[in-house]
Every structure is written in C-alpha cells, then in structure tokens.
Chains A and B, each alone.
Chain A
Amino acid sequence: MLELTNLESGYELLQVLWGVSLRVDEGEFVALLGPNGAGKTTTLRTIAGFLSPIRGDVTFQGRSIGDAAPSAVSRMGIGFVSETLNLFPAMTVHENLLVGAYAVKDKRQIAATRDLVFELFPRLHERRDQLAGTLSGGERKMLAIGRGLMPSPSLLLVDEPSLGLAPMATLATFAALKALRERGVTILLVEQNVNTTLHLVDRAYVLEQGRIVLEGTGTELLGNSHVQEAYLGI
C-alpha cells in the first residue's frame, strides 16, 4: 500500500534520511522505532507531503506521491496525526472534527464518521462544545486522532501519540489505535515507547541515524539482542 524506496530527505541545510526503504501493506499495523533525532518524524513529514524527497521515492497505492502537496496527500487517503497535533485551538471539538472532514461532501458520511469517533473516544463527546485549546493533553491527542479519522483515510500516520502523556492516557491512546486497526485502518506508528509498541504492532522497523537498521515482527524484535540492549534495557 505504502512504499518508501531509498528515501533521502531532510531540511534545507540538514539531510536527515539517508536511504530509508520500508513497506506498509493493507490492513497492517506497522511501527517505526528509534532514538531521538533518528529521522522518524522526518519520515512521516515526507510521506505527508510537508517535505519533498531529495532522492528516492514514496509510492502510495502504486502512485508516486513524493512531490504532492500536503492537502493533496490528505485527499488521497493518508491521514497524518503530527507530534504537534496542529489542532485549531479557538474552535470547538466538534468544529475541529468538521474541518477534518473538509474533503468529504456527503453530510451523512460526515455524521457517521463523527459518531464513530465519539464512540472510539467518549471523552470527546463529553467535550463536544468545548474549545480545543482548553482540552487536556490526552484529550488533545484523542481529538487529533479523531480529526485524522474524519476523512476515513485508508492509511493513518501517527507520530508519537504517547509523548507527554500520563501512563493511563498513553494506554487509552494505544487501545484506541488497536481498536482502529481492528476496524481495518492501516496504521504507521512512530513511537519511542518500544516495549508497549512491539506488543501491539504486526511489524516494526528500527531507524537509527537516518537508516533502517532492523526490521521484523513485534515478537522477533522483542527477542532481538540489539533491541533488548538499546531500547528495552535488558
């Protein structure tokens, strides 16, 4: 479904990715793990269209999307939940969701997806008419994921949902991702919370210094000595 081939990308004076190749198949839950500064966020930002590849390519459903604008990528069916969330603070929870559904024309479909989001995150339903800027950190994450779901994307990119969250809120967020996956949404998750993530996902890639160093199923990586040493502290 999504394929990166020898992707090199980065910022004006700083190349971050040095040939990243990875693949996400339909219905899969894949994680991208690695230390700070490895290039995980850069990878997602490049897929989402906020950065253009220097070399290499990104293909989605057989089409090259390397040079597509972020709004075009979103309309092709790739949802992006960024690390900074990028919510609309002066809008209510409900309005944030409606903006998320900007590209959807069918009113009934919008209402149905909104109900699904509220079912997934009952907290958002309680906070429906509250301004997004007044939500707690965990609620904001839920709203960002909910907004990302509004156009019913076929692939959801999620950047560090556990960042800055209390353990309980982290568990709730992971539970929501698991529920999404069971509903057939393909997910590419970036995380630093290695242990929990590897128990949750189908496959994972380990990214270090802009290169993929390891690849395998969750169980395989849990048993890998490098992962155990560098990320699990065993």
Chain B
Amino acid sequence: MDEVRILSVTGNLGYGFPEKSLLEGASRNPHMIGADNGSSDPGPYYLGSGQHLTKREQVRRDLGLSLAAARRLGVPYVIGTAGTAGGRPHLDGFLDILDEVSKRDGHRYRLATIQAELDKELVKKAVREGRVRPLGPLPELTEQMVDESARIVGQMGTGPFVNALEAGADVIIAGRACDTAIYASFAAYKGLDMGLAFHMAKIIECGAQCAIPLAANDCILGTLRRDHFELEPMNLDMRLTPTSVAAHMMYEQPDPHHFFEPEGMVDLERSHIVSLDPRRVKVTGSRLVSTGKPTIKLEGVKLRGYRTITIAGMTDPRLIRSVDEVEKRVRDGVARLVQGTLRPEDYELRFIYYGCDGVRPIRGAVAHPHEVGIVIEAIAATQQAANTVLSLARSSFLHGYFDGRKATAGNLAFPFSPSDFEGGPVYEFTIYHVMEVDDPDALFPVDIREVA
C-alpha cells in the first residue's frame, strides 16, 4: 500500500466535533477512523476512582456519529485510552456505551478489546529485577509503592493494535495506550515508514489542535505516503501553515525535536514542513531511531483519603488583612476540638485565598484586594472524618476572632446552601515510571468477539 488516509475525528472522543467535518472526512475515503479518549492531564482521580472525565451523553454522541461513518465505509474504527484513564473500569464503562450505540444503530462488526491494567505481581517482579526507573522527579519504585497503589496501567504501543488489525477487527477499543499508537499502528500494519507515521500520529491525535483557528474538537485527515505525509483540517473554515503545525509539535512536550515511544525515539531534527496550499501542509524527514530494549510507561495512583471543601468570599478590609491570624486560630481550634478522635497527622486542612495567592505565591508586598475568595479543604481517612474537620473549620472561620474585628456577625459570605461539598476519594500519582520488558505486547492481551 503506497498511501494511507487516516481520519482523526477529535482530540478526545466526547469533546464534540462538528458533524459537517466528519462528513467531509468520510468523503475522502479514509482507510481508518480513530480517536483518543484519555489523558493523564485531568489528574490522578480518574485512574484511581475508575470514573470517566467525559460523560456518557457526550461520548454517546461522538461515538455514534463516528462509528456509523466507519461502518458505512467498512474501515477500522480505533479508540485509545478508553474512559479517560484506560484501566479496567474505564474500558468496561466505554464498552457499555459502545454496546448501547451498536444496538441502537444495528451495527455488526468484529470487536477487539485490549486491556491495559497491569497485575501488581508483574510490576513487583520488574522492580526486584531492576527493570523499572522513574520518569522525572519521583522516587525509585519499590514493591511497597506497588502494593499501596489503587491501580496501575501500562501505555501500550502499536503492537497490540496491529495484532487486533491482523485478527480482522473492525472496531478496536483499547485501554491505556500511547496517543500515537491509535494511528501509527495502522501504518505499521500496512508496512509504511514508522518515523513519518509516528510524527503524523503525534499531530493528529489532538484533532485539529494544530490548525488555525485551533480546535481539539474537530476532525483532521492525515495522508501518509512512502516518503512524506500531508495534513488537512476537515473543517473547511480552518487552515494549516508550517508554523501552526510546528507550534503544535511543542504542545505538552518537553522537547519539540524528539519524543519517545515504546518502539524507540522519534527524531524530528530533520523534519521539514512545507505549505501545499493555504489549507494543507506536507512533512518529510522524520525518523524513528531504535533505543534498544522496549520500555512501557507505567502510571499508578495511591488513595490519599477523602475530601470535603467549602467556598466563600470575604470583603471586610480588616478581615482581609487578618486572614493569617484567623487561619491560625482556626487550625488550633480544630485540633483542640477533634482531640481524642483525630491526631494532627490524621487529617489535612488547607486554606486557599483566591485574589491573594490562590494560584501562585506572589513575591514582595501586594496591595490588599477588595475581595478575596476562600476555599477551605479537609482531607481525612474517611469521608465522615473529612466532613467533620471541614465543618469545624468552616464554623470556626465564620465566627473567628481577630484583633480589631468590627463585623462580628460573620467572616464569610457563602454563595451556597449547603455550604460544604464532598469531593470523594483523593488520589496522588505515585507511579510514573518506565519498565523494561522483553515482549511488550504480552502485557496487553487482545480479546476478539463478534458483535451482531
């Protein structure tokens, strides 16, 4: 095959793409249609809890339209990192929506599902054998950290997708996957150049984010040939320039010239982007360089407790100047009131002052703003304990004394009743490591079944 046309419908299935763009894309007779459905960006909660960031109705809409387009054309439909984090409950939740849509629309196809949740014993064995190393500023992985994690996923590369395509899958729903693998696997399956394929996949996995105006929730077509690829946004009001595409190559990447995949390093030092017309670009020169033994990126999170918060505003000028004093009294008061039930190390209490330094610490003297928003956060081992700590902190802050206080009826303006909100379980990324493996595909079993 000398030309492969791949349609990426959106940067995240559920964000909502224009139907017109999808129809335009389908009219180009793509050989494959796909979308990413996950990311670690929304934080550790999704991997830990099994919840999805995109809601059922959103996914149902995008999935319904794009799956129908793929089935009409009779081409593979591929989803990576199903259900936001790509663990077992995420994949199962996504498959439930797929089942609903398929029954509704009467689709028949061969379905491949690929699990990405990893067995803890397998990861512990790799730790014992010294095959795991941290990515960036995290401690070395220990067996204890593995045991303490709520869930661990591995990011699959192209191999498991290729296995599914070779098994004749019409629809592939994968757990945690490298974003590029969704699209690059089709090029691997057809035997095209993988340096170009990975580069093209890296761009189109974000939908039309590389276009002007940029939009992650729109469709883009990638056409891969033997020695180059072309890109074209499927929204006819959008265009691409070499600069817009190059700028996108920086996005969320520490190094715009190189990125790493389980298959090796993609070297863009000699990539060259030229304009074909006002809406299309052509890219040459991207290369895949082998980096030795294959590695799989691991993501894992640990449960830190349960969260309750309250949100309020403050506007009294003396109060705004005295929040440090009030906060200290509240902390001391809460510690005193829970004595005998909770030790200081059993809960976390935080005060965020929006309008002062809620997002970033400010250096030097700052003028006092006329209003300050406050978020009080309690985290404890149970939801009930967090509720109690937050409730005590909230009432103590509301009625807290400070020198020179004039507004003695209350310190906080609450916008809501009830004032307190349960945030549920709180997680933290503790595993963001790479694991060397002999056979990366063996970690991601492909399950095939017929849907009728």
Whether A associates with B in a native complex is: no
